Structure 1
Amino acid sequence: MNKLRILFLFAALLAGCSKPSEKIVIATAANVQYVMKEIQQEFEKESGKKIEIVVASSGKLTTQIREGAPFDVFVSADTKYPEEIFKNGGSDQKPQVYATGALVLWSKDIPETDLKLEALATDKIKKIAVPNPQTAPYGEAAVQALNALKLYPQTEKKLVYGESIAQTAQYITTGSAEAGFNALSIVLSPEMKGKGHYVIVDSSLYKPIQQAAILLKHSEDSPKKASSEQFYQFLYSQKAKAIFKRYGYK
């Protein structure tokens, strides 16, 4: 029995005979966290049901789902991880794309006019923050963009990897790295808006960041099944689409 399952069982024992939580648990990729807060408010107001949001990189959340984490819906930053979960029997429904994200180059101090990918290879920039490309789709897109412009060999040693897009944003906004890559949705969020300068990276330099969600099998044997399905459908509603659009998603 792995450690994560032991923790879940221990939590259940502590709860004793108390009524299980009615909250719908949404595993949320870090780039979607601010959007999800607004969607949460709209859904809870409309349905009267409560949501709990768990935020991490898509890769990390997928690992937790494999290990039995009791999530009801997984909102990923790509299609790869939800498709992997579906193929491995984690859901009876194929994942659906809910939005396409955009990659930005962002800096606390470098003005927008000087913020170019080519500048990353100069001596002025010592550290470049990037979400871990092994677990974060936006990090993978950043590496693709650097390779497309043949800048990767000159910048590889400058790359500082954040565990997720949220940690990478922290490196950039605190000035720990002179520049870095992130999601447009993060720089447009109320929490980050106005913190530095950014430019949108040419989308032809990386594969489209299609983001998919999946209704997890955990919900099927749960009293929350109907509520989880209701939230999953709401994620593709016109109300949710309008919120995604405000955060720069297509």
Structure 2
Amino acid sequence: MAELVYRPVVGLAQTLFKAWDLKIDCKGSENIPRSGGAVLVSNHISYLDFIFDGLAALPQKRLVRFMAKESVFRHKISGPLMRGMKHIPVDRKQGETAYQHALDSLRSGEIVGVFPEATISQSFTLKSFKSGAARMAQEAGVPLIPMALWGTQRLWTKGHPKNFKRSHTPITIRVGEPVEAPTDQYAGAITRRLRERVQELLEAAQRAYPVRPKGPDDTWWMPAHLGGTAPTPEEVKAAEAR
């Protein structure tokens, strides 16, 4: 029943991306298993990341159930769609409920999408990873699939206006080989290995990205260590503390 909602939404997203003339470069989709459970793990730089993560799974004919904050499910428009697509609401006050929901989905052969940074990175660099994805993979006996996105921040991210016009914006997606999560290893060690792999994929996506800022007013989407004017991780932390 869920696919009666999910597939039309995917079709609408693909139509919009064509209308915006996005240049999507996706490599590594073959690393997503065609059957069985898996935890899809991505960096988080945009409000639209889950859509592009989901697109990467389509060549394998898989639909991803994303873990998302519970408030999205209460919205009058997004709520019915999120529930209809079997995404997983996360109430931070009752995190165990969402965790168990995700485990049940994994054990039933679903792919669950997770952003282990928890929130959008305003520096566009990788933040620290929470260990929940690794623990879920261990308990469910499924692999972790690392991936990285680049360019999505130019469409819609925290602290910047939306850009939904016909922009020809490139979007680069890289999916890596599965990372195993054996039960005889600490979740923290698996999480560190997973973050390293996502970092490698992010750097590969950045190297492959076909455009650079057009001028001084267009450097906001580049991280400081690459010569952009996005805030550094330290500046973001200081702003949050204030």
Using the size of structure 2 for normalisation, the TM-score is: 0.26
Max Rg structure: 1
**More strand per residue:** 1
